[in-house]
Structures are given as C-alpha cells and as structure tokens.
Structure 1
C-alpha cells in the first residue's frame, strides 16, 4: 500500500489514544486509525492504539476486525487498559500499582461478590456511574470504582490476581496515567490524542520522556471568528489547557488563523491536515456532466435538503442533472424522503442508503455536493477529486477553501446559497469539454498534496520540533499582582506586576478568564513591559468579550510561557478595589483579594 523510502518520524514509540472504537464509526476514529497505519507502514515501525473504553476489552478481536476491514495493517494493534488490568501477571500488576501514592482504604468485604458477569455496575437516574466492579474470568476482582458521597470517599482501586487491593487512586485518570507509565517506562514516546474529552485530564500527564499531542477535528464554535462566541463544549478542555500540550494539531490553515487571532493558540500549534488514501485516477473515465453523487449520513447537520433543492432547481432551468445520495439513514431521513416526494423528481434524485462501495460511484459521477453546516476537513471532497469528480461546496468553516481552488479544481459557493449551487451545477453541464477535463485533472493533482507520504512528512517535522523543544516538566513559581485598573468608555485597562520566576523573561503573556462555575473560557491580548525594574503585563478588555457567559462570576488570570514552561497565575492584590461597573457587568475584588467580574444582583 505504501512505498517506504526514508524515516519520517523522530526516534520515539508512537501511541494513538482514543476513548473507544465503536462498531461503526467515521470522523476522528477513522483518522486516528489511518494516521497510525500510515506511520507504521511508511516508517517501518509498530504503532499501538490505546483505548480506554470497557467495550474494547478484547483488543485482539478488535484488531483482527479492523484489519479485515482494511482500516489498519499488520504493524498496528489495539491495546486496552481493561484487558491489560484483567490479564496482567502479579509482577505487572505490582508495577502498575507502584505508581500510586495513596493509602488503600477500600474494604473488599463491603464490595459486591462475583455474580458470573464481568461487571457489576450501579447508575444514578441520570446514567452516571456510582459504583463499578470488574472481574476476571475466574471470578477474582481486578477493579473497583466508587464515586463517593456522604458516607464514602471517591476511590479507584486495582486488585491482585487473588482479588486483594494493591493500589488506590482518587481519580480514574490517575489509574490511566499509571498504565501509561507502565507501558512507556523510560523510553521516548509520543501520545497523539484524538479523543477531545480526554483533554480534561490528559494535559496533567507531564513526563520528561513523553510528547503529548492533542488534535482538533472540527470547528471550535458556532461562529469561530468572534471572540464573544461560546466555545463548543467538545474542544473547550483542549483549548483551555492548550499550552500544556507539546503539540496542538489543527487540520486547516484557516482554523489555525482563527484560533491565533482569538489568542487560543500561541507557539505550540501546527497545521497538520488529514491524509487520504484515495488512489488518484490515472485515466479519467467519460461521464455525463449532469451526474451527481453525494456521500453523507442523513443528519440535519449535512443539510442534504439544500443539495436536493439545488439539483431540482438546476433541472427546472433545463439542466439534465441527477443526484444519488449514499449514506447511513439518520434523523433527517424521513423529512428528506418527504421533500423528494413533494418535488416530484421522477427518480432523478434518490436516497440510496448505505453502500460499502459508495466511494466507487465518484468514478462515474461528474460532480459531488457538500452542504454541511460545518466540517473539520471533509475527506469526502478529496475522495471525489481523486476520481475526477468535481466538488461543489459551500464555503463553510472549515476545510473546503483549504482544499478547493474555486474555478480551478472545484467550486466554492457562499454558505447556504442554494441558487448559487444550482448555477454551478448548470455551469458544469454547459462547460466546454476541454475546460471540464482540465478541472478534473486539476482535482486529481490536488489530491496528491494530501497523500499519506506528504502528510506523514508534515507530522514528522512537527513532532521533531516538539521533541527538540521538550522541557523537563516543572511548575513556574510566580505571582501576578494588580498594579492599576481603569474603566473608561466601557474599556477595562489593567496593569499587572509579575513576581517570582514568572518575571524572568516570559516569552509572551495573555489575559485569560474562566467562568467560575462552568466551563466557559477565553483569552485576550496583552503585552509585556519593563517599568522601573518590574515586569508588567498590560491588557484591556470590554464587556462584550465575556458575552459567552450570561450569569455568575468570571475570574481573571495571566497566562505566560517562561523558559519553555506554561504558567497560569490568578490576578491578586485587588483587595482595595471598590466594585465598578463594566457595561452590564461589575469588576470587583473577591474576599481573597483576587480580581473578578460578576453579574450584579437584581433589585
């Protein structure tokens, strides 16, 4: 499948990390597997995909299934934390347990007995796990989890082969970290995380010999260019802790630019697009210019009704266009069927359902449509272009504009403009055959920029930089003291004096804010100044900068990088500050003298 010519990646063991691999998947999971396979084949190495889901506790069967589906080759295997804990030898269990420093307080006599099932679980009314016990085939317990409450503390424990507790942690992710330490040991390693929720705790796994990589696969907010827009919950943990990752991988240059403009990313991010294994067509097959194929699950997110309406409109104007839509039926299936019936398309527009050979339809199709509300980097465009099938796509965030050069290898139309899409379908139908052939050839050439070899080379360069820049984990000793605060014409102007090691030549500074009882988060520009021998941070903010929060309290911090180490310091020294209005908000000092905002109580 691949031709190995040279080493692409740094000398380190590479692990993929994902929460779990379900029976049917796409998106992030597919990208994780494809990247691992390319790394393994091109670099001649073994790559393991680490999974944390109990549903993946038979990694050998899962590996065999994925190989049978052509997802991975023989150099890639799946590894499960739960399978390892269940099967580990007494020596290996002792090694994993050695990474715990907590006292063992769990009492096995108070735990449920084995009832023949591999797991005994208790859930609350919302589906949250209250208690979980997992057992080996011989009935011995190997894991126990207690959420905690009034009469018990939260605990995570593992047990030896005789069912006796040998280690305990306060959080489940601490057990995962012990597993990582056991797997990796002292060797140089790279962990590439494709599971966004795992970023909540993964950023805390700081080891001198481990490079942590976090990926982002979709747009970060509904309007990703506006500072006032709320971050999506999926990527808030990753962006809130972005500076603690050694590398932050963004799929497109346009998203990288937006994240930079909003100060979410600084110096550790790289544009690393998804790759496509689609084989560029050598000889373009003849096809009717009006033949369209679309690959998309029938979700409302994909706005397939726009595609149907555009093709119908093109037909109404005299274009002999047809559209076959392939994809798993989802929540929009019935409304789409109704729309097709109401338009009375006479079979020229059809929902064909799931077809494992659907991608081959691009070889006979003239065009494909992409009408999604948003994407990360739609690989379906590259798959169509590899077959000489012209993409007509909404210019959405993100991906289409980073792939398609409008009028050269495809068409970009304004987001949501159905009439413009219909016109492009008509243009294709009336286009000179030579011009149309040039577009198909250009589309095929463009796919080469996303080949496994080229994308792996980009990854290799980014990972090599991350390895070179890696610092021994250390916390920066410092403080941030409010020097002055002014509010003029709705603008909050702050001067903050840095103390301790934080004042020793920080590379950059930002004002960051967090919602005290919630996950909202943002960062604002700041500059560093030397004043009277002091290192000061100068920054401004407006009430609109916090529009993502609609109640409660907002706390202020200074984000820095000092000698290669990230640092976040609470702004203190505001004890003498009298509450002052900032638009609909109020600046005030907490009882600990820290600087914060709040929504004033209504009379």
Structure 2
C-alpha cells in the first residue's frame, strides 16, 4: 500500500492524540512562495502554488508573499488577472524582482557621489523592458524601465552569464552585480523579513539561489512538481531529467525537499541514500459542491493539459478516434490548453470527429462537471492536480500509468482507470468499457472518485505542511548554529 493511501485511511479515522486530529495549524511566522513567473496560461504547478498560498494565508491569518523573477513578467497585469480569477485573494501578495528594483529610491542604488549622468534609451509607451539582440538574434542587452520611462536596470549578456547594473533617475550608473545569481541573493536578503520565515520554492529554475540561502530562523523547502528521472527510465538509477540535476546536486542544501508521491520519494532515496528531510506532501484541491451523480453524457471526454511534447495530447486525440471506431458512438472530446504543439494537435483534430479545441480557458476544471471522463496521456508527471480536480467532480480519469502520480491517486477499476504507458488502444478500450458499464456501476465509480479527492482537501494537506515545517526548522536552526543536524522522523 502506498504512503498516500495509508494517509487516506488515517485521515478517515484520525488518532485523537495526533496533530492532524487536533487541528494542527502552520507554525507562526512569515510564509513565502517562490516561482519563476505566473504566465497567463499557467498550468498545474502554478495552480497548485497559488492554491497552497491561499490555504496558508487562511490558516495563518497573515499574508503569503509570492516572489517572481521573470524579466518579461508584467507584475501589475498579473495581479489584476489573478485577482479577477479569484486566484490572488485571501492575503496572497505578488512581489516581482524587476518591479521592485524599479521602485527603489535613488539613494539605495549605490551611485558614487561624483558619478555623471549617461544617455540611456527611454521606454516607448509604457514599455516595461526592451530586449536588444545581435544580427543572429542572440540577446545582448535588456533594459528595465520605470513607469516614468527612465531605465532602472540594465542586463548585459556575458557568455552564458548576466551582468546587471542599476541606473538612477538622472541616468547615473549605480550598483553592479557580476552575475544574476548575486542579484537574486541580495534581493532575497533585502526583502525576506526577520524572525521565523518559511520559504517554499516551487520553480526548478530557482533551486540554485535558494539552496544556498543561509539566514537565522529561515526554512527553505523545495517542492518537486515533476519527475526527476527522464521519461522511459527503467529504474531509480536511470538518467536524470536535465532540469532536475540541480535538485540532486543541492538536495542536502535544503531544509526540506517535498515530493508529491511516495513512489518518487522511494526512487529518489534509492538513488541518493537515506535522508530524513525528504517528505511527501500532495497538492491540495478544491471540493466544489458538485453532486457526482449529476447526469452527464456518458461519451463526453475532456483533456486539460498544455499542448506540449510531455503531455502527448495527440495520444488522447488518437485514442478518442479509436474509441469512436470501436463503439460506433458519437463521442465528444473537449481539449482545454495551449502550447507549442497546438498546430499539430489542431491538424489531428481536424481529421477526427468530435474533437473540439478550446485553447487556454481559466478555471477549465469547472468544465469537468459536465464531462464523463478525463484523458491524461503524459510522458511523466508529479502528482497531476487535474486528477483531483476531475475526481472531485465525479469525472473519471483514464490515465497512463507513468512515473509518478497516477497509481498513487487512481485505483484501477474503482475510481478511474490506469493504462500502460503509451497504450493508445488501451485508452480507447477503457472508454469503451466505461460506455458499456451499467448505471449503478458508473455511479459507484463516480462516488469513489469523489471520496478519493476528498483526501486532498486543503486542511489535510496544510496539516502535513505543518509537520514538515516543524522538522525543517529544527534542521535549519542546527545548520545556522554550526552544529550537527538532528535526525528527525519524517512525517511522510
């Protein structure tokens, strides 16, 4: 039995003396989330981060700050967009590096007293940044502007690195960083408040600067949202995903490393050896007031995924086509999402009856109340949030059994269907099987799916985070004090 399934059983009948049963709340202090950006068409990782931040803010009754670093992000527009969507509420605040730098007063910019103004380009019509490239299209310089049009910072490309210079409102050169990592470190040190602080790093791009953060009473936890092994790896010692090498390299530099499934934790520890600061905490989901028994067309399928190589939405469309052929039914497949493979998926959809591409739709999960089943055909996963979103609405998942997540979430034939990785015919066969089940069997599966999703509610997941933070603070205190890091039992 997986650890997450054991957790479900414990949550159904909690021990009266346990911290979960006692309504354990997060430790008092400052809570911070770290991500690279918040794109307009964000997917599961960003959605999970935003939801966790809102849950933390509600639990602590204090703000949770979300730090972003993408130089192309319009932070003001992102705040407006997220607030309107109900994603940036309940005490969550978005703080952006480049917007912050642009607001610094001139006296904080490190300008030498005898520095002379230089002539700099100004912004065009509210421009936030301007990228300058060479004849080959390679970035050579980026200017970041203030609302008044003056440049606040200048990035220059030096080989594979960046040199950043601040500029005051008179055009005088100020402080200079010889690497972007130095800038990140100084900004983080400037804005993080004193006292107990709990930082959760969601972005794999930000592993390096936060792994080296060394501040008193500050915990740094890294959440791994995807597989650390390459797709197709056959054992825990297989090749690492390029984007996860930093995770393994800096594993012991974090006070806590949080994985979404027990299977991934087991594989990681098989590779690196025992670690007591590697935990399992799943993402939480909302539980909409939806009756799982509500009528819906049995042949209505859905996909919510980025149109990318990793998500393999073309497999879902191909499976739908084969299911139509096998059953002779007028099935429907609604695809919500956008991405680099959009043209390919569109071309395939034009030749496949019943497929509709909707592009990126905010809160697309709400559409799952009208769908009978969800297709998920990814190469790899962490713990797909869309599974919980579907199951909470009585929409049955039909999903490739890949590393990691699906098998920790779905019990085959009980609350959904697991299909061998890459088996398009197998997906079509499960759609056919669902169509042929009697109404009572389908009703039982939809109710079971809802019960599964209930175990990933905010309060249960926040209680897990509380345990992780307490153990991590003991580790952080010992690290800063220069003593031995205590061995603690993992709440996972």
Normalised TM-score (structure 2):
0.82
* Counterparts of residues 413-492 of structure 1 (less than 5 Å): 413-471=419-477, 473=479
Q: Report what 1:181 is aligned to.
A: 189
CA contact (8 A) 1:193 1:213 kept: yes
Structure 1 position 311 matched with structure 2 position 320: yes
Distance 2:162 2:371 in 1: 58
Q: Residue deviations 1:486-515, cap 9 Å, x none?
A: xxxxxxxxxxxxxxxxxxxxxxxxxxxxxx
Aligned CA RMSD, in angstroms, stands at: 3.4
Q: What SS class does the counterpart of residue 310 from structure 2 fall into? A: helix
Structure 1 position 377 matched with structure 2 position 383: yes
Q: What SS class does the counterpart of residue 452 from structure 2 fall into? A: helix
Distance 1:212 1:162 in 2: 38
1:169 to 177, 188, 191: 177
Task: Please state which structure has a larger fraction of its residues in strand.
Answer: 1
* Counterparts of residues 494-533 of structure 1 (less than 5 Å): none
2:301 to 292, 301, 304: 292
1:205 to 207, 210, 213: 213
CA contact (8 A) 1:296 1:325 kept: no
Structure 1 position 323 matched with structure 2 position 307: no
**Alpha-carbon distance change, 430 to 40 in structure 1, aligned in 2, over 3 angstroms:** same
Distance 1:109 1:121 in 2: 25
Distance 1:438 1:388 in 2: 10
Distance 1:161 1:123 in 2: 25
Aligned-residue offset at 1:351 = 3.7
**Alpha-carbon distance change, 333 to 185 in structure 1, aligned in 2, over 3 angstroms:** closer
**Alpha-carbon distance change, 89 to 6 in structure 1, aligned in 2, over 3 angstroms:** farther
Q: What SS class does the counterpart of residue 55 from structure 1 fall into? A: coil
Q: What SS class does the counterpart of residue 219 from structure 1 fall into? A: coil
Normalised TM-score (structure 1):
0.68
Q: Report what 2:51 is aligned to.
A: 34
Q: Residue deviations 1:179-227, cap 9 Å, x none?
A: 2222234322122112211213321221122211112111112244535
Structure 1 position 143 matched with structure 2 position 153: yes
Aligned-residue offset at 1:248 = 0.9
Aligned-residue offset at 1:298 = 3.6
Distance 2:479 2:132 in 1: 38
Aligned-residue offset at 1:126 = 6.5
Q: Report what 1:274 is aligned to.
A: 283
Q: Report what 2:31 is aligned to.
A: 14
**Alpha-carbon distance change, 112 to 119 in structure 1, aligned in 2, over 3 angstroms:** farther
Q: Which runs of 5+ in 1 are unaligned?
A: 98-103, 477-561, 567-603
Q: Residue deviations 1:453-474, cap 9 Å, x none?
A: 1111111211121112223546
Q: Report what 2:254 is aligned to.
A: 245
CA contact (8 A) 2:305 2:336 kept: yes
Aligned-residue offset at 1:320 = 3.1
Aligned length: 461
Q: What SS class does the counterpart of residue 79 from structure 1 fall into? A: strand
Distance 2:478 2:39 in 1: 36
Q: Report what 2:204 is aligned to.
A: 196
Structure 1 position 364 matched with structure 2 position 370: yes
Distance 2:74 2:64 in 1: 18
Task: Please state which structure has a larger fraction of its residues in helix.
Answer: 2
Distance 1:351 1:120 in 2: 34
CA contact (8 A) 2:301 2:332 kept: yes
**Alpha-carbon distance change, 134 to 109 in structure 1, aligned in 2, over 3 angstroms:** farther
Distance 1:371 1:365 in 2: 17
